[in-house]
Every structure is written in C-alpha cells, then in structure tokens.
C-alpha cells in the first residue's frame, strides 16, 4: 500500500532532486523506471499547476546512466493553448544531460456518445497474487525494493509503489516504474532467464487513453529481439479500471 508520508524515491531539494538508494538499478546508475518516472513527474506537476489537462503520451530518451547524486530537472513549454499542451523536460547531473523527455497533455471534455465498456482484467484482489519470484534474492538495495510486484501466472505482472516516486501525486509517472520493467518481465518467462547479457533500454514511451485509476498497474509484455543485438519490448498496460495503454522500449543487448 502506497504511503505518501513515506520518504520518496527522489527527495526535492529546492530546484534539485536527491535520489535515494532505492532509485538504483541492476546495471550502472539509477533504474530506468526511476529516471523516466522523475522526468515525467515534473512535467505532470507543471501541467497540473497550469491546468493543462492530463498526460496521454510521454516519451523519455535515456542518454547515459544517472549517478546516485543530486540531479536537476528543467522544463520548457513547447505549446500551451486550446485543449493541448506540449512540454519538454531535461534531467541533468552537473554539466551532463542524463535524459530528455517530451509530454503531451490534453484537457478532457464530455463525449458520452463515444463511451465504451471494457472488462477490467485486474484480479479481485492483486494482493492475493504471489510475488514475482523471478526477481530472486538481492544482494543490494535497488529500485525493485520500492515496488510491490505480483505475478498472475498468465503473462501479466501487477505492481504498485511501496513509496512515492516524488513528494507529490504523479500517477502517470508511476506507470514508468512498471512499464520500464517490461523486458525483465518478459525474459523471466523464457529460457533466457537469468539472461547471459545485459538488456538496457535507451528509451521508454507510454501512451494512455485516459488518466490512470488506482494504485495497481498491470504490464503484459512481448519482445521482438534480433541476432544483431537489437530489440523492442512492447507492453500492454492495465489498471484498476481496465485497459489503459501501451509502452514501448528500444532494447540494446550487451555482453555481460
């Protein structure tokens, strides 16, 4: 259960952010889900303050590993008018650009004639599902320690944050925490687990058809990988109200 009073994965320090050890990943630097989540969160906060609507598409390029040290985010407004707003967010460590994201925000209107009913795939009680066993024993604290991940045994992993990503409400940013894990979710069900190579993603893009509902996020991943060391992970996203959107990641396979 998310406790908003718990210390967030990233603490705010004026115009800067201090990542905690729970932001680290299995490879060098911070976890991609934490990095992309922070990049999305600051855009989400700005759009909420300005009344620019809800995020429907956020894409983040991860340029280099983010260090476990003070980080800075910078926002540029690309467009703000009518029903849509476009923002750009940069994550910087010292003089190095770590990640850059773009976000599209839309103000909702009422169109009841196009409403449709979709069956919610979420189990009645995700807490009754077993924990994702493939994670295995850990020798150090990582971003996975901030996540509660459950396995329905049918190809969908359900997760919720144990602590907030940032010290304010950022439901769309939380999607990145789980969408970024599409590759290990998929790999854990193949003969390649544990994998003989690294599989960092250089980007992650989330598209949604509406605002997220509830704490639980479902990820149903598929991957298309090639013998030249390149691949794509494409995940269907769900939440407590049913189908939510898609997430895509460009994967670069690297020898261990």
**CA of residue 12 relative to chain centroid, distance:** 19
Model confidence band, residue 4 (pLDDT cutoffs 50, 70, 90): low
Dump pLDDT digits (tens) for 75-120: 999 999 999 999 999 999 999 999 999 999 999 988 777 766 555 5
Dump pLDDT digits (tens) for 143-166: 999 999 999 999 999 999 999 999
List the one residue out of 138, 162, 159 whose CA is nearest residue 150: 159
Q: In Å, how far are 40, 61, 99 from 90, measured between CA atoms?
A: 10, 10, 6
pTM equals 0.92
């Amino acid at each position: 259960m998310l406790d908003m009073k718990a210390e967030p994965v990233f603490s705010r320090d004026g115009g800067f952010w201090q990542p905690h050890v729970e932001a680290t990943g299995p490879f060098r630097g911070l976890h991609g889900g934490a990095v992309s989540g922070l990049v999305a969160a600051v855009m989400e906060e700005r759009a909420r303050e300005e009344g620019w609507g809800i995020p429907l598409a956020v894409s983040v390029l991860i340029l280099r590993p983010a260090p476990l040290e003070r980080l800075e985010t910078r926002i540029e407004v690309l467009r703000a008018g009518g029903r849509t707003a476009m923002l750009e967010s940069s994550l910087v460590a010292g003089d190095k650009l770590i990640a850059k994201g773009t976000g599209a925000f839309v103000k909702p209107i009422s169109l009841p004639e196009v409403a449709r009913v979709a069956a919610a795939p979420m189990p009645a009680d995700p807490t009754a599902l077993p924990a994702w066993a493939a994670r295995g024993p850990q020798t150090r604290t990582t971003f996975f320690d901030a996540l509660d991940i459950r396995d329905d045994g049918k190809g969908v992993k359900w997760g919720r944050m144990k602590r907030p990503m940032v010290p304010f409400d950022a439901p769309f940013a939380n999607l990145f925490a789980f969408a970024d894990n599409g590759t290990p979710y998929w790999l854990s069900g193949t003969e390649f687990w544990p994998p003989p190579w690294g599989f960092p993603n250089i980007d992650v893009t989330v598209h949604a058809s509406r605002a997220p509902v509830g704490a639980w996020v479902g990820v149903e991943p598929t991957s298309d990988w090639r013998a030249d060391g390149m691949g794509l992970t494409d995940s269907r996203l769900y939440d407590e109200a049913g189908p939510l959107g898609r997430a895509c990641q460009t994967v670069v396979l690297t020898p261990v």
